A and B are shown apart, each in its own frame.
Chain A
Amino acid sequence: MEKKKLLLAEDDQLLASLLTFRLQKGGYEVQLSANGKQVKEYLAEHTPDIIVSDIMMPYFSGMELIAFVRKELKLQVPIIIISSAGNEENVLNAFELGANDFISKPVSPSELLVRVARELNKN
């Protein structure tokens, strides 16, 4: 069975490493991008099954990523946003732009795994 492609956009190296390990262990093919530029480059060539992104990243924020995917690439890929700034305004903005889910930091890797699976099952 082919593994689902997951794009993880996270600038925090430690957390990225931990989540990558957990998601890989959960059966996903994880592409890690440390900043917005790398995300753009990846998306120009590939279409992941799901995107998990942080909001605050260098070059390209998570919000911009959602807008880029939904408006420019016109992709309906599920997007899960992870952010330590889990205030109401950010959450509402993310959902308005087209995010499918929002997880506040600190994040539980197991919970993320469940949410990813749920979003993929929806599609």
Chain B
Amino acid sequence: MKIPNLTYGIHTLITAPEINNDLLWALSTFFVFLALLYFLSVFFLRNKISSNASRIKQRKTELSPMVSEFLFYEDDADKIEKSKYIELKIEIRDLLREDFNRKILAQILLDLRKDVSGDTQKRLFKLYQDLGLEKDAFKKLESWRWEVLSKGILELTLMQVEEAYPFIVTFINYRRGTIRKQAEIATVSLKSGGISYFLDTTTYKISEWQQLKLLDVLRNKEDFEPPRFRAWLTSTNTHVVLFALRLIKFYNQNDANTSLIELVKHKDRQVKQQAIDCIKEFHVTQALPTLKGVFPKCTVDTKLAVLGAIAELGSTSDIEFLENVSQREGNFSVKGKAVGAINTIAPESIMPTKNIEHIKVYPSQDIDVGEVEKKAIEEDAADQEQARVGPEIDISGEHPVPADSESGPKDNQIKHKDPIVIRKEMANPKKSGKSLKEIKIEVEEVKAASPDDTHSAEASNFDISEIHFLPIVVAETEAISNGKMTDHDNAIDNESVRAIEVRHDEIFSDPMDEELQALITEINELDFLPVVIDDETLSDAESSDALNLDALEPFDTIEGYSLSDFEVSFEEKHDADAYREGEQVAFNLEDAPIIDIKNPNVEDAMSWLMADNELRKIELNYETVPYPSDAEFPNKLIPEPVYYDDHETYMMGLLDDLEELGDLREIPLLEELRAEERKGFIKERIAGMIEKFSRERAAKRKSNSNTDIETANLPVFSVFADLFKSIDTECKLILLDEIVPVGDEKEIEFLDGLLQNPDQSIRNKAQTVLKLLIEKLSHENPEALYSKRVSDIVAEHGVSKIVGGKATNEMDLEEESFGHLLSELKVSPAMAPEILDIDFELCEILDNHYDQKILEIPVISTEVPFDANGSSLFNSLRKFSKLFF
């Protein structure tokens, strides 16, 4: 019986997909296999990891005592310990051959580094390097995997391998943040100067956390001397500026106040706030105007910081600004901070107003200042307060304490200028519930009245009791008549005091008085000058009252005036004798003409002065100088403006530039410009410039000839000479071969020297090379062979015949004859001969088999020598013509 396929049979009605059973089995098997593989791999890996961990642990247990032995080994150990130490050394050397052991040792040392400190830690660092474990860390720096690289940097940093510093600093601007941060800490940690290098070079952001870590590294660094961090306040990296500000604050470097003030204006909010913090910390009061200036544009946080700084640094002059802020500012916090700042500067300037209940205030009349309380005050004041605050206390004016109060000694009486007012609560401390010490004393300063007020106060309202704080000085005569001189005698009533003439005698020499006396003396010495009086005062001046010297008397008593404040009058003198004798100043005010300032009469004044100074005999001629008319006068003086057209402006600008920057090379251009130019003044200028540059050229030629002479006298140096010293014979021979293609005239002398070399092969080679070099130079640069030294050598070695051009005697003769020919024909070359120096080669050999007809012509066949030295066209032609004639 066939079993129906249940998959199809039962589920046919519910549209199940038709899946092949074989496929299902295959998939099931596959997933079971995957699961098994997974479990097996997990099992395998777990076992491997755990076995590895146990192996590491085992090895650590084995190696850690060895590390301890190495760490605490002392040189003065006993024999057994020493032998044990040597055995350990041998053992560890073997262990270090395996990477695994090296890794474990490094791990042990790194773990211990975290747990130990002091001398043991230093020994640990030394041991790390002694075992050569830092080499593995250096290898990690070369890894392309960032985590390995990071581990390497960390390891070298923790073990303080200073040699790694130059390698690690290269990672400061690494693209991956983790490496960068690791490198930053390493840079700062490994060297004291690392922080400077880091701040100089970093271009990336320094996070807040990183800043804290760096600060921690610096703080824990031994013998760290912080640099002046103000140097980095100018950095273009805002984060560097911010970090520098924090470091400045941390190390209290208050030498960057100006920069700090400038940084308050920084666009970055954090920098701004940090600068404000520093300003507050270092109490930079000069920053107050800047703080106020930046305030309106700041954010709320910065505003709060600014207000905090103003509260700390400000004075009463800043209260107005703070009041404005408290009134205009919308933000509650800022407003509150401003009010707080006002109260910080002037405590309790602003009292609480919100939610304050109105209570009935006791009227002042209710307070009864009785005799008992008054006495108590006096006693307390005498015992405690008076000595501290001042000698005299006035209780609100209602109950004045007499000046001659018995409570105080007479010596201390009424000498205090500032009356001290005590409130009524002080008068009755028991009622107010406060002790006398707790009561605040308000001291009101009485400002000095102006001089005008003083004068007016001297009138009938004057009361001696009002100036009882001043010492009363009585005229001597009156004092004598009274028989005694007392400052304050209560027996003297007000009436009698009023009758007394009061004078304020100066106890000490007043500098103002001395100054005034000097001023008066000075004015008296000026009596030779004419008296100049305004029109308005003319009539007064004429009156004798105005010229009364008595008017000067008030000067004796007026202080604080300058010369300009005084109206000076001179006493009219009638000393006829003095005038007759003509001695001293011949000044007579009566004779002096009164000069009207508004309508001066110069002639009168001059005549008078000359008359008074006995210069009558000199005749004065007053010449009238005719002035040009108003229309002509200014036009002649002011030069007429010169207007250039576009071309002129361009040319003048060009010539300006050429004149300023150009030299003799501009002459052709200038000549061209002159030829094209039509404007006369431009042509003149160009001509001037050409002349100037020509002079320069002449001067330069002269100086060049001098320089050539000097150069010629200098010793010649060959680069081959140095190389020749340190090589063997074979290399020397090779080097000599190289001289021909690359050498120049400098080598000739060197080669000449080699001709004396003990080695025969070098001598021969040098000889050959010398000849070849001379040949080469005679073609390429014959002038180089003219120098005295070289030409001697050339002559010595008989190579003059192969030298072409002007160098040979033969050629000189030819040129000479050619010169004669030119002179005979009365022909002169149109241009400089060097222009005609064309490389002309006549190397073709006349072939005897060339053409029979031509060959039949009787020609003296000869070979033109190779002449590639640039002999002139005329010479070549001349030589060629000689062949036929």
Contact residues of A with B, CB < 8 Å? Answer: 12-15, 17-18, 21-22, 25, 105-111
Q: Is B60 a contact of A21 with CB atoms below 8 Å? A: no
Q: Is A107 a contact of B116 with CB atoms below 8 Å? A: yes
Q: Is A22 a contact of B115 with CB atoms below 8 Å? A: no
Q: Is B116 a contact of A108 with CB atoms below 8 Å? A: yes
Given contacts A13-B60, A13-B64, contact A18 B119 (CB under 8 A): no
- Tally inter-chain residue pairs, CB-CB below 8 A: 57
A21 CB contacts on chain B under 8 angstroms? 65, 68-69, 72
Q: Could you say which interface size class chain B belongs to? A: 20 to 34
Contact of B116 among A13, A25, A109 (CB under 8 A): A109
Q: Is B115 a contact of A107 with CB atoms below 8 Å? A: yes
Closest chain A residue to B65, Cβ basis: A17
Q: Is A111 a contact of B64 with CB atoms below 8 Å? A: no
Q: Is A109 a contact of B120 with CB atoms below 8 Å? A: yes
Q: Is A108 a contact of B65 with CB atoms below 8 Å? A: no
Is residue B739 within 8 Å, beta carbon to beta carbon, of the partner chain?
no
Contact residues of B with A, CB < 8 Å? Answer: 60-61, 64-65, 67-69, 71-72, 108, 111-112, 114-121
A25 CB contacts on chain B under 8 angstroms? 72
Complex Cα distance, B104 from A13, in Å, reads 14
Q: Is B117 a contact of A14 with CB atoms below 8 Å? A: no
Given contacts A21-B65, A107-B117, A108-B119, contact A15 B72 (CB under 8 A): no
- Which of A17, A105, A110 gathers the greatest number of chain B CB atoms within 10 Å? A17
Closest chain B residue to A10, Cβ basis: B115
A14 CB contacts on chain B under 8 angstroms? 60, 64, 108, 111-112, 115
B112 CB contacts on chain A under 8 angstroms? 14-15, 18
Known: A18-B115, A22-B120, A109-B120. 7 other contacts (CB 8 A): A13-B64, A14-B108, A15-B115, A105-B114, A108-B120, A108-B121, A109-B72
Complex Cα distance, B65 from A105, in Å, reads 20
Q: Is B68 a contact of A13 with CB atoms below 8 Å? A: no
Q: Is B60 a contact of A110 with CB atoms below 8 Å? A: no
Contact of A12 among B61, B115, B120 (CB under 8 A): B115
Complex Cα distance, B158 from A106, in Å, reads 14
Complex Cα distance, B108 from A12, in Å, reads 12
The secondary structure that dominates the B interface is helix
Complex Cα distance, B61 from A110, in Å, reads 22
A107 CB contacts on chain B under 8 angstroms? 115-117
9 contacts between A and B (CB under 8 A): A12-B115, A13-B61, A14-B60, A21-B65, A106-B114, A106-B116, A108-B117, A109-B72, A109-B120
Q: Is A110 a contact of B111 with CB atoms below 8 Å? A: no
Q: Is B118 a contact of A111 with CB atoms below 8 Å? A: yes
Complex Cα distance, B68 from A104, in Å, reads 21
Q: How far is the CB of A115 from chain B (nearest CB, A)?
A: 13
Given contacts A13-B60, A106-B121, A109-B120, contact A18 B114 (CB under 8 A): no
Q: How far is the CB of A83 from chain B (nearest CB, A)?
A: 11
B64 CB contacts on chain A under 8 angstroms? 13-14, 17-18
A105 CB contacts on chain B under 8 angstroms? 114-115
Contact of B118 among A12, A13, A108 (CB under 8 A): A108
B60 CB contacts on chain A under 8 angstroms? 13-14
Closest chain B residue to A20, Cβ basis: B68
B61 CB contacts on chain A under 8 angstroms? 13, 17
Contact of A110 among B65, B68, B115, B118 (CB under 8 A): B118
Closest chain B residue to A22, Cβ basis: B72
A111 CB contacts on chain B under 8 angstroms? 118
Q: How far is the CB of A62 from chain B (nearest CB, A)?
A: 16
Complex Cα distance, B65 from A15, in Å, reads 10
A18 CB contacts on chain B under 8 angstroms? 64, 67-68, 71, 112, 115-116, 120
Given contacts A14-B60, A14-B108, contact A22 B68 (CB under 8 A): yes
Closest chain A residue to B73, Cβ basis: A25
B114 CB contacts on chain A under 8 angstroms? 105-106
A15 CB contacts on chain B under 8 angstroms? 112, 115-116
Q: How far is the CB of A32 from chain B (nearest CB, A)?
A: 12
Q: How far is the CB of B81 from chain A (nearest CB, A)?
A: 10
- Which of B64, B72, B112, B115 gathers the greatest number of chain A CB atoms within 10 Å? B115
Q: How far is the CB of B672 from chain A (nearest CB, A)?
A: 86
B120 CB contacts on chain A under 8 angstroms? 18, 22, 108-110
A108 CB contacts on chain B under 8 angstroms? 116-121
What 10 pairs across the A-B complex have the smallest Cβ distances?
A108-B118, A21-B68, A106-B117, A17-B64, A15-B115, A108-B117, A18-B68, A109-B120, A14-B111, A14-B64
Q: How far is the CB of B99 from chain A (nearest CB, A)?
A: 20
Complex Cα distance, B81 from A25, in Å, reads 11
- Which of A18, A22, A25 gathers the greatest number of chain B CB atoms within 10 Å? A18
Complex Cα distance, B111 from A12, in Å, reads 10
Complex Cα distance, B124 from A109, in Å, reads 12
B119 CB contacts on chain A under 8 angstroms? 108, 110
Complex Cα distance, B111 from A107, in Å, reads 13
A110 CB contacts on chain B under 8 angstroms? 118-120
B111 CB contacts on chain A under 8 angstroms? 14
- Which of B65, B72, B108 gathers the greatest number of chain A CB atoms within 10 Å? B72
Closest chain B residue to A17, Cβ basis: B64
Q: How far is the CB of B216 from chain A (nearest CB, A)?
A: 15
Complex Cα distance, B116 from A15, in Å, reads 8
Complex Cα distance, B115 from A18, in Å, reads 10
Q: How far is the CB of A14 from chain B (nearest CB, A)?
A: 5
Closest chain B residue to A105, Cβ basis: B115
Closest chain A residue to B107, Cβ basis: A14
Q: How far is the CB of A82 from chain B (nearest CB, A)?
A: 9
Complex Cα distance, B473 from A48, in Å, reads 95
Complex Cα distance, B60 from A105, in Å, reads 21
Complex Cα distance, B124 from A107, in Å, reads 13
Closest chain A residue to B64, Cβ basis: A17
A13 CB contacts on chain B under 8 angstroms? 60-61, 64
Complex Cα distance, B67 from A13, in Å, reads 13
Complex Cα distance, B120 from A106, in Å, reads 11
Complex Cα distance, B114 from A110, in Å, reads 16
Q: How far is the CB of B572 from chain A (nearest CB, A)?
A: 96
Complex Cα distance, B65 from A9, in Å, reads 18
Complex Cα distance, B59 from A14, in Å, reads 12
A12 CB contacts on chain B under 8 angstroms? 115
Closest chain B residue to A108, Cβ basis: B118
Complex Cα distance, B112 from A13, in Å, reads 10
A106 CB contacts on chain B under 8 angstroms? 114-117, 121
A22 CB contacts on chain B under 8 angstroms? 68, 72, 120
A17 CB contacts on chain B under 8 angstroms? 61, 64-65, 68
Complex Cα distance, B71 from A1, in Å, reads 27
- Which of B64, B69, B111, B116 gathers the greatest number of chain A CB atoms within 10 Å? B116
Closest chain A residue to B74, Cβ basis: A25
Complex Cα distance, B65 from A22, in Å, reads 11
Complex Cα distance, B124 from A108, in Å, reads 12
Complex Cα distance, B61 from A23, in Å, reads 18
Q: How far is the CB of A30 from chain B (nearest CB, A)?
A: 12
Closest chain A residue to B116, Cβ basis: A106
Q: How far is the CB of B43 from chain A (nearest CB, A)?
A: 28
Complex Cα distance, B71 from A21, in Å, reads 10
Q: How far is the CB of B76 from chain A (nearest CB, A)?
A: 13
Closest chain A residue to B68, Cβ basis: A21
Complex Cα distance, B773 from A92, in Å, reads 96
